Amino acid sequence: MSAERRTLPERVSVERRVTPDRRDRMRRINTIHFVGIGGIGMSGIAEVLLNLGYKVQGSDLRASTVTQWLAGLGARVSIGHAAGNIAGADVVVASAAVARDNPEVRAAFAARIPVVARAE
């Protein structure tokens, strides 16, 4: 290992910086809907948010041990994708695998509910 120390950059990129405005918007989020909640990436994020006290809901095409696990932790899990599944959501999270014509994504856009990529 080198004796040279690594330093963190002085600034975080503007897109990732937690500004007061962003923090206020995040405080207003209570219920998060995941399209594809049973996927390995989405389910992990959903579990963390449940543990942080958020209300989590989501849908997947099929029931699995993962969707059952999340339901046991308190998530509201729907099997199948339908516009009505997003009821009560403050934000919708979708992975890159979810098409823009997904009924839940379309319903979120129509209702002006923010849709964010899982990576965000």
**Residue 79 placed within a domain:** yes
Amino acid at 62: R
* Cα–Cα distance measured from residue 18 to residue 29, given in angstroms and rounded to the nearest whole number: 15
The answer to whether residue 110 is domain-embedded is yes
Whether residue 74 lies inside any domain: the answer is yes
List, in sequence order, the alpha helices (H) in 13-117.
Answer: 20-27, 40-51, 65-73, 103-110
62 lies in a domain?
Answer: yes
pLDDT of residue 15: 47
Q: Is residue 76 part of a domain?
A: yes
Task: Judge whether 94 and 45 are in contact, CB under 8 Å.
Answer: no
Q: How many domains does the chain have?
A: 1
Q: What is the DSSP letter of 87?
A: T
| Residue 14 belongs to a domain | no
**Model pTM score:** 0.78
- The Cα 34–Cα 93 span in angstroms is 5
Range of the domain at 96: 31-117
Q: Give tens-digit pLDDT for 78-102.
A: 999 999 999 999 999 998 788 889 9
Q: In the prediction, which pLDDT does 8 show? A: 46
Residues of the chain with pLDDT under 50: 1-2, 8-9, 11-16
Other CB atoms within a 10 A radius of the CB of residue 98 amount to 21
CB 35 within 8 A of CB 95: yes
The CATH number linked to 48 is 3.40.50.720
Give the percent of the chain with pLDDT over 90: 66
Query: Does 10 fall in a domain?
Result: no
Let me know: does 77 contact 60? Beta carbons within 8 Å: yes
In a domain, 11, yes or no: no
